Structure 1
Amino acid sequence: MSQINISENAQTHFGKLLEQQPEGTSIRVFVVNPGTQSAECGVSYCPQDAIEASDTKYEFNGFMAYVDELSLPFLEDAEIDFVTDKMGSQLTLKAPNAKMRKVSDDATLLERVEYVIQTQVNPQLAGHGGHINLIELTDDGVAVIQFGGGCNGCSMVDVTLKDGIEKQLLEEFSGELTAVRDVTEHAAGEHSYY
């Protein structure tokens, strides 16, 4: 199984688009600024003369998809779909590892906690303009975090910490983490969500 999943609907969509391109044209899936908070995923046409020897090739229904060497680890578990609703049709591309390379199971606890924060916790907080940073892991298994953005000064931060973030991290790292603590001083300001 390939690490990039393209749904049947998206494969049909790409097939129709490629029929109108010169013969031999494929698609390219890529990440701009991989491994950073400003990472962006994209899909483009890939003419035959743009295929590099270092590219990874994926075969799909009636077409090929190519991924460059640099983007490859950041596209692990990526999903491309073509969805239609009342508002119309659109291509969706989800790449949970675009901003941060997937860590191995034998990575340090610090690396694994940081990965979960960046790929699972922060995307949820981003809807309110917030984020958290991992400040340290203590010897007794306490993850010390700092709220930022719209979370800083928000009156709901204690609920978010206890019922959301701490619960999620303690479940994910059962037996390794003992608690999650906040070092942020919460001063309400114009930037606060609530």
Structure 2
Amino acid sequence: MAGSGARPTPPRTALGHARPWSEARSLGPWQRPCPAAGRTTVLIQSSTTTTAIAVTAVGSGALPIEGAIPIILGANVGTTVTTSLVALTFIRDRTKFRRALGASTVHDFYNWLALLIFFPIELIWHPLKHISGALTHALYGTDWLPNPSHFNFIRAATRPVEHGVIQATSHISTTLGPLFTIVIGAALILVAVR
């Protein structure tokens, strides 16, 4: 088949329908963010921080919603390590350890089952993407959500920090400046979450 010039058959979806080659090649990025987000959550012990970074990246346009979904699912799986570590702190008292491990196991199974159920469904039919898009379009521009321009107390509270970061990174090159800004932003998020 290598020299015959015949094109190989395209991959199939779970229902057996032929999937376009462009879509089949795009599945690769899905395989990286989920485990990476899980490892990040394990390292920083905060799925909230991992999720906040993903939401910020989507809001700024740096990441499409399709890339944020596996990150958020991976962050939830990463929290399973945290609960297991907390359960291990009760290892000296057998009764407490069994109760803590039981609660940890419930949390672990919930998050792993959510990943195992929603991830394949999202890969095939994209319901999370469609639901989030529908909610965004339905709520944006309506009176259901408050207009942030009328009360922007967060902007007023964070303005001094923003100016400090800008001044601290303004003398750095255009290549390293944004990188340092991201590192400082991630550090500030960690400080705020802790």
| Structure with the larger helix share | 2
Larger radius of gyration: 2
TM-score under structure 2 length normalisation: 0.19
User: So what's the TM-score if we normalise by structure 1?
Assistant: 0.19
1 or 2, which has the higher strand percentage? 1
